[in-house]
A and B are shown apart, each in its own frame.
Chain A
Amino acid sequence: SQQGEEDPQALSIQEGENATMNCSYKTSINNLQWYRQNSGRGLVHLILIRSNEREKHSGRLRVTLDTSKKSSSLLITASRAADTASYFCATAFNDYKLSFGAGTTVTVRA
């Protein structure tokens, strides 16, 4: 079963707007990772946040982690058409595997 659950399942925004998606998980983790996938291709790593971190930034991306609520959020600022993709959160424990959520499909309209 998948540990992470993303919300919402789909998101449609105008170019230039911000996009926020959330991820909830069930058990304790070592780290939480966000990935992007374009049209059924391979996944691209975006950000890894460790369990002792609360916030990380990478370019237009901002990720937060609240281990007490077992949740994370990914914010994409000033979205572009190229941000149209599916976004997945994945959790890692001491078992060398990633457990993925079902993903959020983001559509950025021109």
Chain B
Amino acid sequence: KAGVTQTPRYLIKTRGQQVTLSCSPISGHRSVSWYQQTPGQGLQFLFEYFSETQRNKGNFPGRFSGRQFSNSRSEMNVSTLELGDSALYLCASSYEGATSYEQYFGPGTRLTVT
């Protein structure tokens, strides 16, 4: 099976812009989660989607949003970018969610905000 893919792999944006990141899960996986990784805060949960429904959301401002499509592919959007949004954004897919199953992570999208 192909693994989790994320596009783009690298992105440079300026403050105030917005960005959309994409994630394609492993075939058959219906749960997609997003995490932000920074040196200071470590790995922080953003949100989780299952069958197009958001089941949980982390402690991030409303500038961070996401969605999931009927084919389980997911996108996350960050509007009005701030310097502190520079991070590695990781997408993970799972059969039904982390509560019961392991998650498979993609390679990540490295976002740099200047």
Q: Does B64 contact A (CB under 8 A)?
A: no
Contact B99 A92 (CB under 8 A): yes
Chain A residues near B97 (CB-CB < 8 A): 96
| B interface size (C-beta, 8 A) | 28
Q: Does B66 contact A (CB under 8 A)?
A: no
For the complex, what is the distance from the CA of A95 to the CA of B31, rounded to whole Å?
Answer: 12
Chain A residues near B45 (CB-CB < 8 A): 97-99
Nearest CB of A to B17, in Å: 23
- Contact-size category for A: 20 to 34
For the complex, what is the distance from the CA of A31 to the CA of B97, rounded to whole Å?
Answer: 12
Contact A43 B105 (CB under 8 A): yes
Counted as pairs of residues, one from A and one from B, with CB atoms less than 8 Å apart, the total is 70
Contact B48 A33 (CB under 8 A): no
Q: Does A40 contact B (CB under 8 A)?
A: yes
Chain A residues near B88 (CB-CB < 8 A): 40
Contact B43 A88 (CB under 8 A): yes
Contact B42 A48 (CB under 8 A): no
Known: A40-B88, A48-B101, A100-B42. 7 other contacts (CB 8 A): A40-B110, A41-B107, A42-B106, A48-B102, A95-B99, A98-B35, A100-B35
Considering the complex, give the chain B residue whose CB is closest to the CB of A44.
B105
Q: A94-B99, A97-B56 are in contact. Are A102 and B42 (CB under 8 A)?
A: yes
Contact A96 B101 (CB under 8 A): no
Contact of B43 among A30, A45, A100 (CB under 8 A): A100
Q: Tell me the B residues contacting A by CB distance below 8 Å.
A: 4, 31, 33, 35, 42-43, 45, 48, 50, 55-56, 58, 88, 90, 92, 97-108, 110
Nearest CB of B to A105, in Å: 12
Nearest CB of B to A82, in Å: 18
Contact B100 A31 (CB under 8 A): yes
Chain B residues near A42 (CB-CB < 8 A): 4, 90, 105-108
Q: What mask results when residues 40 to 64 of chain A are scored 1 for a CB within 8 Å of chain B, else 0? A: 1111110010000000000000000
Chain B residues near A98 (CB-CB < 8 A): 33, 35, 43, 45, 92, 98, 103
